[in-house]
Structure 1
């Protein structure tokens, strides 16, 4: 009896192999021995369970350069070009007091056992002493966002850039956290774990441990592919609609309801974009996604039909 679990693409039987990946929404701390700029760094791939988006990777680093008070802590956030000082980010999220920020990180700052942690935060306090208020912090972060205003006056461009910054803090910084308070506590926990690892209180995480890994099965892999090609379809539709608005036949009759009609809808919404993308991935085995650092080649393979056990083994392979 055939157990199924494979695809037939152009007459060829294809199986999709499960892929290992790092577990999401989990903080990992590593030694920065491969980089001269950072001594230690922590990372988390944040993805919410209530909507389907690509994981957002946030990194927190301890600088190798001493500023006279110690080594400062910085954070990399998607769509922001420069690392942001830890205490500046806390202020941008609405916490202005250095004492309150330390409480988010250490919880009990009066505990003598935590004195070493408190000393490690001195450099970060000094790095952020130019930015006292939330407005100062937002202005500082806005100067580093990956956004260039086009075709607008100076005031409109500045307002749009600030809105972009707030959108980044809301949607790219720990998107699996639904409130600012949750983001603040997770940010504090991330800094706490990073400093404790740098002090040798806890060991660095092991990338190869199966405790820190998850397996993506066929459904997840195809879901990621579909999302990528669906977004591509939407962008192509936007371009075609703008082209029709500017140059379409509706202009001669000024019939706005006729911008999209039966003669041009096939050009606007291409029915083959998603289908061809999925077929190509299954046929070639290349499941790589644009704007992603991971390369997924050889994910789909021709099913081994030598024996029944060989087929079953191939279907379950990781």
Structure 2
């Protein structure tokens, strides 16, 4: 039994977490992002109605288009030898509905994504050790990396604070509560700070605003309701915060929030947008969840006050229960989402091309409106340079092939993004919860 256990331990692929993450991205997350869009509604020049339904996505295994027009399979070895990118086409089935009449569905190519060696998309995943040797691959190679322009590249795992969970800390008499509220891949960072007994919240374009003003704007109009929501044990602190805003009803709270956010026109509509779309979006982004948001925000305020009074202990930021790792799949999802849904992304360009190409009663082909190399160039460019969405650098690195241990260590490397203007002694120390998860040397 001991020998069997040791054999299983030796045969185990210790970069499987990267491969599994990539497989989830390809098999589930790309389709989920397209489902979020659901329908595309380009504006046609003559006011005609067009709806394009996104039906399905299909990601093919890697192939190459040769100069003579032939199409054939490409292996990781050939991509390395010919300085090519080991990648797959993304094909999406779309159905246009013009003036209420469904047209014929069309399968269009929206671009290419790099294929991880050893993933389910990779040809080598079907090969046994002998077949790998025949194709020029190392039978003991772990996979988990990419071939970009002939170079082997790895995506570095990024350590992040856990989403949708408040983290309470205290420093120099100032109490803070941080929560990354995530919805559909979009993260809105919130921070509550208690200083001189006033609890202020910052998120989106709302900066340093007394948090109780948002509770009132969410529908808790009376002081009594707000005190009961936060907790009567801290009534004196709550009344002090209420006095700071000066708002006595929901309308005045709207005006106060608008003033803090620099809103001067369409106040009600724009504050509604802040409350519904940007405030704690993980609870929902519809008006019917405002009461739930008010209760949640009241809990955040209560715990921030309680921390200042010594009634609760601060959280350990370095505990791995308070962290998550963004692996290869999550990192590619961020980039794909940005390129596909961004302001000047693939979707926006498609709508623009429809407006430019459509003629009365006639529609251009769907493929002609898609600039397929938009997706490919931006994702491949990020993989080549390591510059990622959000201004991060060094996310994608050339794989260290010095020896096998160096290679495996590089594939399992984890980076914690720490600000350069502060000292982080504790974050650089080993933490007990890292045992068995993170290499102590790295």
Flag whether TM exceeds 0.5 (same fold).
Answer: yes
CA–CA distance in structure 1, aligned partners of residues 209 and 268 of structure 2: 16
Give the SS at the match of 1:138: helix
Q: 2:280, 2:304 → 1: CA distance?
A: 17
The corresponding residue for 2:393 is: 297
Could you tell me which residue of structure 2 aligns to residue 124 of structure 1?
Answer: 241
Aligned ranges for residues 42-57 of structure 1 at < 5 Å?
42-48=177-183, 51-53=184-186, 55-57=187-189
2:155 maps to: 16
Kindly report which structure 2 residues correspond to 1:1-318, keeping only aligned pairs within 5 A, or say none. Answer: 1=139, 2-31=141-170, 33=172, 39-48=174-183, 51-53=184-186, 55-64=187-196, 71-80=197-206, 82-106=207-231, 109=232, 114=233, 117-128=234-245, 130-145=246-261, 158=266, 161-178=267-284, 179-232=289-342, 233=345, 234-238=347-351, 244=356, 255-258=359-362, 261=364, 269-287=370-388, 289=389, 292=390, 295-318=391-414
Larger Rg over CA atoms? 2
Q: Give me the whole-angstrom Cα distance separating, in 2, the residues matched to 1:239 and 1:162.
A: 31
Measured in 1, the distance between the counterparts of 2:352 and 2:259 equals 30
Count how many residue pairs are aligned between Structure 1 and Structure 2. Answer: 268
Q: Which whole-Å CA distance do the structure 2 matches of 1:97 and 1:6 have between them? A: 58
The TM-score with structure 1 as length reference comes to 0.75
The higher relative CO (CA closer than 8 Å, separation ≥ 6) is in 1
For structure 2, list consecutive stretches of 5 or more residues without a partner in the other structure: 1-138, 415-442
Quote the Cα distance in structure 1 between the aligned partners of 2:227 and 2:400. 58
For residue 74 of structure 1, give the secondary structure of its aligned residue in structure 2. strand
Q: Distance in 1 between matches of 2:192 and 2:249?
A: 22
Higher strand share: 2
Gaps of at least 5 residues in structure 1 are 65-70, 149-156
CA shift at 1:13, angstroms? 1.0
- Per the alignment, residue 152 of structure 1 pairs with none
